[in-house]
Structure 1
């Protein structure tokens, strides 16, 4: 079906002023944790930085994404009660209504997420600035992602009743069953999202084209992402009962508490993913991310100006030619080490 202009009660108007009260950002507090991060460029030291940022209220749905195209996630919420999106540092937008499921993604391939909604009552998708179309039905789980490697997201749904994936523009694919949680991501590093489900009953990950892997326990929330900057998604879970993030192949990180909603993403603008939770009870975002430690510059060389072509420190101690490896070097000035005994401007002549 072709895109059609958005209509039917979707008032699409950017509000001039953000009606959401947004307190000043809490200054990030650097923890005492310092670690070595191994990347393709080598090993670099990093430190963990945390921040608590009030933004939103109970009843909101967290929808952090890269809306501005700067490679960083913006903190954002969708408020069903008034159908408004609040994007920190960007603005507020009236788009949608109560009962809609927000599905922001980069549908146009311009490097930033568009506001988008899936309306279960009629199976419609509404993409701000693009249009609307029917794709899905009540009971479907919307799972937009870049499935075909064209640098933009395709509208897609997972239908638990049949275990089928319906990706707009392609044939339906059976992958999963009722009770599975759809977790599409680029697990294979082939620049497009792979079909994947997390099966709570067995804590297994079923990724199409890869081996089945057990990771987690029943009750965990799957949070696959490019956690370590390797250009592919890693298996990871957030455990509400303990607030622990368990990334396969690394040690657990405790960040959050029961009731928090995990919102992993690239908030720091680097190549990895950050642990972030939104707490509905107080409308606060808790961010944990790593920043590289810039080593101090090396001290300037302590070289005596009498020897401009080599670096020899001034006395003390007084040095002889036998104490250094330089030979036949230029000597000017006061020659405090007396390397130029015949005063011909050449030190330690061989």
Structure 2
């Protein structure tokens, strides 16, 4: 599903994007070497990495993976502007939209499934399949639907770069950002609401409303926040196309992808964490990297001495007496290493 977006206040207010804390300097290095934290290493001990390459789409398609079925896993999907058609792997092929539309699928009804939806910059309309249509935005706006109110439904929203302003339908109008910023709303604090956030490429800095100003990334990076650790919060993450490295704050760096790939982090495996995934327009392939829990091998069966076929009594050491075991009147075969058959009649620990 989408990131659970955070409380932003419901009053229509205008707040300048300057009331931020001092920047925390945590800029990832410009390197492709992979690193992991101690916590990530410990978690990896109970998981294994699985990768997959799946062709689903073609050059010119827009990736729109979402949980269309409602089982918490994302389905691979693309929107093809050239014919206005959605292709959902394992699901349907649906004609909905036209060239120039921006796909904005999300769960607008709160039923746990994403609806097909489009934002049409030419007229500012949103078209939500099975729900309806409405005007919300204008040409030049960047659509950013998410669950801002915390009612398990996504609200239609746009970020207007020319004003640095967010317009959230039925919720609020808030100044947060500037021209050139990339909107990146997500639940960064784990309270079930999406926080307003922008990534500023010119500075490599994130501005998270009511949270922090954090340096994480550099010009050219693509913001890809998601819950990679599995703690119900979105982690600051950037994908660096020049090197194919994901920089996940607090969880390490992972090389997965190449220049031209579009990062599509989501829960494809059905686990509690997010998987790295990229869509490669040049060949229409999806490249998935995810971790699955490993089942430890069963413990070896207890070692049993063949002199006592009725019950599992381990061989010495240590030496056992009848008072050490809960059994009586059982078969004893030579050589009886514990000496449980004192009268040598083939019966041990006679009561």
When normalised by structure 1's length, the TM-score is 0.82
Distance in 2 separating the partners of 1:101 and 1:327: 74
Trace 1:63-102 onto structure 2 (pairs within 5 A).
63-102=64-103
Trace 1:68-147 onto structure 2 (pairs within 5 A).
68-147=69-148
User: Residues 220-243 of structure 1, C-alpha deviation per residue, up to 9 Å, x if partnerless?
Assistant: 000001111101110000000000
Contact residue 309 and residue 332 of structure 2 kept, 8 A: no
Structure possessing the higher relative contact order (Cα contacts under 8 Å, 6 or more residues apart): 2
Q: Name the residue aligned to 1:294.
A: 295
Q: Name the residue aligned to 1:239.
A: 240
**Cα displacement (A) at 1:321:** 3.6
User: Residues 267-318 of structure 1, C-alpha deviation per residue, up to 9 Å, x if partnerless?
Assistant: 000011111011111111111111111112222223358769974235xx79
Distance in 1 separating the partners of 2:262 and 2:326: 71
Q: Name the residue aligned to 1:178.
A: 179
Contact residue 225 and residue 235 of structure 2 kept, 8 A: yes
Trace 1:326-341 onto structure 2 (pairs within 5 A).
326=324, 329-336=327-334, 337=336, 338-341=339-342
SS for the counterpart of 1:212 is strand
Trace 1:236-315 onto structure 2 (pairs within 5 A).
236-304=237-305, 311-313=312-314
Structure 2 residues not aligned, in runs of 5+: 1-35
Contact residue 36 and residue 46 of structure 1 kept, 8 A: no
**1:201–1:339 CA distance, 2 compared to 1 (3 A):** same
**1:327–1:96 CA distance, 2 compared to 1 (3 A):** closer
Trace 1:196-211 onto structure 2 (pairs within 5 A).
196-211=197-212
Distance in 2 separating the partners of 1:214 and 1:319: 62
User: Residues 28-68 of structure 1, C-alpha deviation per residue, up to 9 Å, x if partnerless?
Assistant: xxxxxxx99969x9885111111111111101101111111
Distance in 1 separating the partners of 2:37 and 2:271: 16
Contact residue 331 and residue 340 of structure 1 kept, 8 A: no
Q: Name the residue aligned to 1:217.
A: 218
Distance in 1 separating the partners of 2:37 and 2:307: 42
Structure 1 residues not aligned, in runs of 5+: 1-34
**1:327–1:75 CA distance, 2 compared to 1 (3 A):** closer
**1:212–1:221 CA distance, 2 compared to 1 (3 A):** same
Q: Name the residue aligned to 1:228.
A: 229
Distance in 2 separating the partners of 1:140 and 1:107: 20
Is it true that 1:153 corresponds to 2:154 in the alignment?
yes
Contact residue 118 and residue 126 of structure 2 kept, 8 A: yes
Q: Which moved more, 1:128-137 or 1:292-301?
A: 292-301
Contact residue 36 and residue 45 of structure 1 kept, 8 A: no
The Cα RMSD (Å) is 2.7
**Cα displacement (A) at 1:348:** 10
Distance in 2 separating the partners of 1:135 and 1:348: 88
**Cα displacement (A) at 1:165:** 0.6
Q: Name the residue aligned to 1:23.
A: none
